């Protein structure tokens, strides 16, 4: 049943309103530095269930829990030295850590999909931090888009996908990073190497430099097998089909460029990966809005943020269900 979606802004009454909605079990889309998240009280089963309903997620994927600081994380999980070093270096920021849950964690089992681990992140965006502070709640928040579609990096993107399905959206302008957080698995115990479960806003190179060792590859699964296109679930998908590593557009295609190429929409004419990540989802939304029939994408180098960009583009190009 459609509901009116409140538009909230960056002011004290709006922040208080967002916190009140969340405490009452409602859904608020809010800006983080990576993408907009669809937040709910992570301790409330009904509220978390509403996230899956609003996004029409086909499966109960586990969700990331957003917290104000590392101290709040330590209350929920079995913390270790590696987590300590990473949190000191990268929180608040675009890094999510997967750690074993303590027994008395109090989170809804829907958040963890029944796993003995949980994904935790301390976001840097001032509005996300303000809502965490005002509400006093751990907030479960996947990206605020219908399941399988392009992630939102503006409040307008959120409304395009979820208007009438969520209680409110808090407008904090465009997201600075533009791709989701990097997810590291630390659940194997102190001795094991951290595993890169999803490339994202913090480059893998920066993480291995901070740790003084290379990251382990993620265990193969449909969610985390970026090099096996046949196994990839379609995700981040625009309306049009997507062809990667294109040197030029073919008949009927619109080129999404990178670097100095002749094209309608360019991720970064100067070939800057940080700019390209920040613009990625907005460019895909723009290509949909232009009515592009088919999208060809320039090659993007597989280094730094290029890994996260290529991961999202491979999923956008994966066969649709």
CB 165 within 8 A of CB 5: yes
Q: How far apart are CA 254 and CA 90, in angstroms?
A: 37
* Cβ distance to ligand TXA smaller for residue 103 or 251: 103
* Cβ distance to ligand TXA smaller for residue 96 or 266: 96
Which residues contact ligand TXA by CB under 6 A? 32, 34-35, 37, 61-64, 96, 98, 112, 115, 117-119, 121, 141-143, 180-181, 183, 197-198, 223
* Cβ distance to ligand TXA smaller for residue 179 or 273: 179
* Cβ distance to ligand TXA smaller for residue 119 or 131: 119
Query: In a 3-state reduction of DSSP, which class is residue 77?
Result: strand
> Could you say which of 14, 143, 268, 310 contacts Mg ion (CB under 5 A)?
143
Continuous segment of H or E residues that includes residue 22: helix 12-23
* Cβ distance to Mg ion smaller for residue 146 or 271: 146
How far apart are CB 315 and Mg ion at their closest, in Å? 10
For residue 288, list its beta bridge partners.
none
Sign of the C-alpha dihedral computed for residues 301, 306, 309 and 312 taken in this order: positive
Close Cβ partners of 305 (under 8 Å, ≥ 6 residues apart)? 179, 201, 203, 273, 274, 276, 277
Stretch that binds Mg ion, among 52-60, 143-151, 249-257, 285-293 (CB under 5 A): 143-151
Stretch that binds Mg ion, among 141-149, 160-168, 214-222, 299-307 (CB under 5 A): 141-149
Report how many residues bind Mg ion under the rule CB under 5 A: 1
Does position 224 interact with Mg ion (CB under 5 A)? The reply is: no
For residue 139, list its beta bridge partners.
41, 66
Q: How far apart are CA 299 and CA 267, in angstroms?
A: 11
Site residues, Mg ion (CB under 5 A): 143
């Amino acid at each position: 049943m459609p509901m009116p979606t409140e538009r909230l802004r960056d002011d004290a009454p709006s922040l208080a309103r967002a916190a009140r909605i969340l405490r009452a079990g409602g859904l608020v889309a809010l800006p983080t530095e990576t993408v907009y998240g669809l937040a709910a009280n992570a301790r409330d089963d009904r509220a978390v269930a509403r996230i899956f309903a609003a996004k029409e997620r086909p499966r109960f994927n586990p969700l990331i829990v957003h917290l104000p600081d590392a101290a709040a994380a330590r209350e929920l999980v079995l913390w270790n030295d590696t987590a300590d070093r990473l949190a000191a270096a990268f929180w608040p920021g675009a890094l999510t850590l997967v750690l074993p849950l303590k027994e008395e964690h109090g989170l809804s089992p829907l958040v963890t999909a029944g796993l003995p681990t949980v994904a935790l992140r301390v976001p840097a965006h001032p509005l996300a931090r303000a809502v965490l502070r005002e509400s006093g709640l751990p907030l479960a928040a996947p990206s605020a888009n219908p399941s399988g579609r392009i992630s939102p990096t503006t409040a307008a993107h959120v409304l395009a996908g979820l208007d009438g399905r969520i209680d409110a959206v808090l407008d904090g302008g465009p997201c600075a990073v533009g791709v989701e957080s990097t997810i590291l698995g630390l659940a194997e115990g102190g001795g094991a190497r951290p595993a890169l479960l999803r490339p994202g806003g913090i480059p893998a190179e920066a993480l291995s430099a901070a740790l003084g060792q290379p990251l382990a590859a993620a265990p193969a699964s449909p969610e985390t097998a970026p090099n096996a296109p046949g196994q990839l679930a379609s995700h981040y998908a625009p309306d049009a089909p997507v062809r990667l590593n294109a040197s030029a557009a073919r008949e009927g295609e619109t080129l999404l460029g990178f670097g100095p190429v002749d094209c309608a929409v360019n991720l970064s004419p100067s070939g800057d990966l940080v700019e390209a990540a920040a613009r990625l989802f907005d460019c895909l939304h723009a290509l949909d809005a232009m009515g592009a029939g088919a999208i060809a994408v320039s090659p993007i180098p597989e280094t730094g943020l290029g890994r996260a960009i290529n991961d999202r583009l491979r999923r956008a190009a994966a066969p649709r269900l």
